[in-house]
Structures are given as structure tokens and as C-alpha cells.
A = this chain, B = another copy of it.
Amino acid sequence: MNVLVYGAGQLAQMMYLAGAPLNLNVLAVDVANKTVVHPVEKTVLPQSLEQAINDADVLTVEFEHVPEELLLVAEESGKLSPNLQSILVGADRVREKHLLESLNIANCEHEIITDIAQLDGICERLGEKIIFKSSRDGYDGYGQWRSSTAADLPELKNIFTKLDLHKVPIVAEKMCPFTRELSLLGARNESGEIVVYPLAQNTHHEGQLHTSIAPAPLLSEALQAQALDIFTRLAEKLEYVGVLAVELFEHDGVLLVNELAPRVHNSGHWSMHGADTCQFENHLRAVCALPLGSTEHGPAAAMINIIGCNTFSKNFLSISGVHFHWYGKTVREKRKMGHINVTANSYADLADKFGNLSEYLPMEFFPKLLADADRIK
């Protein structure tokens, strides 16, 4: 079977590696150039995108911000999984919020700003701490902004006045207090079968994921059941096929949905060593109409991102249960270069391994690692 992935980054690469044993021939699309590339070597292949779509049995995505005109062609072929609607929900915060509201799934209190006048009195309604997010990414001048006090609003108004809020609305979200950030990854196939991984606990730093620990420490059955319920309602509503990632906040034992990603997800990389079937294999199984694989997992696993650095010895591989995944990219500040997977017999053991890793790694690039170790000791 031929699988064509829109996007040619590390997620497509890891799909290729998971697909080959299943006799799945995974190719990638460099969406910027509309070329077909080898997902590992990144060499441009001779076939045109059109040809590759024709040859493919399945089209899928490694990121949700594929240009819409490409997605429309993909959808028309009848081979796209997950479906267009699901991808668009992931790419558009307004659609995402509408979906969550329609299913009564808890999420941060918010307003959708399509007119600058809506900012009037917003601090009375949502509080002073608000995060403003463009509904869609990749438009000049758009992005994310924060207000800490009502005094920040005039400047934000200035900025927003220059934007076309009808075309690209802004989602103003009350900054929810939360105990921790979690994510639930799961897969659904065409026959409606669903499997989910245990909730992972995620550590972010300057807007980037640094560490995922799975299962999330102190994970109760009730919390996992709550997450499964959210996942199931979303996946069924979307008639979703593939792996879907749900980013969550936990507050007082209650989960709020923060974001959806209609694809395999960085916070699921631990599953490559920590679970019976990794997220890449389960995504491929789902989109290729194969039975889903078990998500049985060990007592404690983690994924540590390697961000913005490529100068370190690989001697950390001497630590048992430690594996290395390199994406083969040119180094840039803040760029995800690879990740380290760790499996352990307990959280204490995992903490020890984090400590052990810190002796090998350039710690300025892993600012959260030791704090994470302390949290799980």
C-alpha cells in the first residue's frame, strides 16, 4: 500500500520507519514546493504530486497547516484520512471552539473577536489575564498576544485594528489556572475501533514542548476515563480516522481542552519505546484500515526534546532504557532537532535517568529537565 503524507518533516520520517515493516510505502510531500520527497533522505523523487496522489492508496498529513488548496485536491481524491473537516478544525481555532462547544466539552472561557469593538469590556467578562490567539496561523501580522492587566488593551487594539478580523478572527481566551498540562493521544479507524494511550504530562518552556512523561504521574483512573470520554466524543463527531492529539489542562481534577492536533504529536513520541504499538504505527494502521495496535505500556516513560543544539556526545546511550531519535535537520535556534526516549521501571527510576542524562547533555538546552526529575521523584 502507498501512503502519501503532506509534510516532509520528522513526523513523516517516523511514519516511514513505522510503515516499512507493515509493507506500507510512505512518501512525503514538501508542501512549499509541491514536490514528492523521500521521508528519510529528503531526496526529491521523480514523480509529480499529481502522480503520487494517483498512486497513493491513502493520503494523510503530518501537520494541519497544509495550504487549503492542496487539502481540497486531497479530499477530492477520496483518499484523505483524517478527513478535511478534521484537519481544518485543527488548523482553525474558531472551528475548534465551535466543535468543543457543540459537544459541551470543557475548554477555557473565550470570545471570538471578529470586530475590534468586542474588546470593550472584555476584561470585565474574561478577567484581565487574557491570551489572544489568531484563529489561523501563517498570516502576516497574526500571532499570539497576552494581556496582564486592562492597561494592556489599548496597545492590543492598535495592533488588531490593522488586521482583517473578519477573515482571520482572534480567539480571546481567559488564562485558565491549571495544575498541569496533559495530552491524550488516541487512534480511531474506519470501523470505529478506538484505542488511547495513557495521558502524558507535558512540560513547556517558552512556548515549546520540552518533556512528556507517560503515564502522567499520579494518573487516576477517573482522569483517564474523563480523557477517553473527551477523545471518543471528538473522534466520533468528526468521523475521525487516524491518530488525534488532544492537549489538555488539568485543574482541580477536571480536564479542559486546550487544543486539538489532527495528527501524530510530539507528546506521543515516548510511545516509540514506552508502548506496545507506537503512535506512528497506530496512525498508519488506522488510515490503512488495519486493526489498531495495543497501547499497553510500561510503568514510566518519557520523551525529551532536543531543541536548537547538535553538539553533544552520544554517550548518553550508555544509560539503559535510553534511545535517540535524530531528525537529520540543520541546526537553528529553537528548532526541534531530535528527541531522547527513556523507559524506566518507576518514576523514581525515571528521575534518576533524567539526572544521569544531565551529566551528558548541554544543560542550557534542557532547562526543565532537572525540575522535571524533581517533580516525579
Residues of A within 8 A of B (CB): 13, 17, 20-23, 25, 40-41, 273, 276-277, 281, 285, 290-294, 296, 314-315, 317-318, 320-321, 323-326, 328, 338, 343
Closest CB in chain B relative to A350 CB, distance in Å: 14
B41, B293, B323, B326: the one contacting A323 at CB < 8 Å is: B293
Residues of chain B within 8 A of A318, CB atoms compared? 291-292
Which 7 pairs, one residue from A and one from B, show the smallest C-beta to C-beta distance?
A: A291-B318, A294-B320, A23-B326, A21-B325, A291-B317, A20-B40, A17-B17
* A320/B296 contact (C-beta < 8 A), A17-B21, A20-B40, A21-B326 known: yes
Residues of chain B within 8 A of A290, CB atoms compared? 314, 317
Query: In the assembly, what is the distance between CA of A276 and CA of B17, in Å?
Result: 18
Complex A-B: 10 CB contacts under 8 Å? A17-B17, A20-B40, A21-B323, A23-B326, A273-B276, A285-B317, A290-B314, A293-B317, A293-B323, A294-B321
Q: Which of A40, A273, A315, A321 has the most CB of B within 10 A?
A: A40
Query: In the assembly, what is the distance between CA of A86 and CA of B328, in Å?
Result: 33
- Given A17-B21, A21-B325, A291-B317, 11 more A-B residue pairs with CB atoms under 8 Å apart are A13-B20, A17-B17, A21-B324, A273-B276, A285-B317, A290-B317, A291-B314, A291-B315, A292-B318, A294-B320, A294-B321
Residues of chain B within 8 A of A17, CB atoms compared? 17, 20-21
Counting every copy of the chain, the complex holds 2
Interface of A is mostly: mixed
Closest CB in chain B relative to A109 CB, distance in Å: 41
Query: In the assembly, what is the distance between CA of A21 and CA of B325, in Å?
Result: 4
Name the residue of chain B whose CB is nearest to the CB of A195.
B320
Closest CB in chain B relative to A134 CB, distance in Å: 34
Closest CB in chain B relative to A2 CB, distance in Å: 12
| B294 A324 Cβ-Cβ under 8 A | no
B22, B273, B296: the one contacting A321 at CB < 8 Å is: B296
Closest CB in chain B relative to A165 CB, distance in Å: 44
Closest CB in chain B relative to A291 CB, distance in Å: 4
Name the residue of chain B whose CB is nearest to the CB of A316.
B291
Residues of chain B within 8 A of A23, CB atoms compared? 324, 326, 328, 338
Closest CB in chain B relative to A101 CB, distance in Å: 36
Query: In the assembly, what is the distance between CA of A17 and CA of B23, in Å?
Result: 13
Residues of chain B within 8 A of A321, CB atoms compared? 276, 294, 296
Closest CB in chain B relative to A150 CB, distance in Å: 50
Query: In the assembly, what is the distance between CA of A13 and CA of B20, in Å?
Result: 9
Name the residue of chain B whose CB is nearest to the CB of A317.
B291
* A276/B21 contact (C-beta < 8 A), A293-B317, A317-B290, A317-B291 known: no
Query: In the assembly, what is the distance between CA of A314 and CA of B317, in Å?
Result: 35
Closest CB in chain B relative to A53 CB, distance in Å: 19
Query: In the assembly, what is the distance between CA of A17 and CA of B278, in Å?
Result: 15
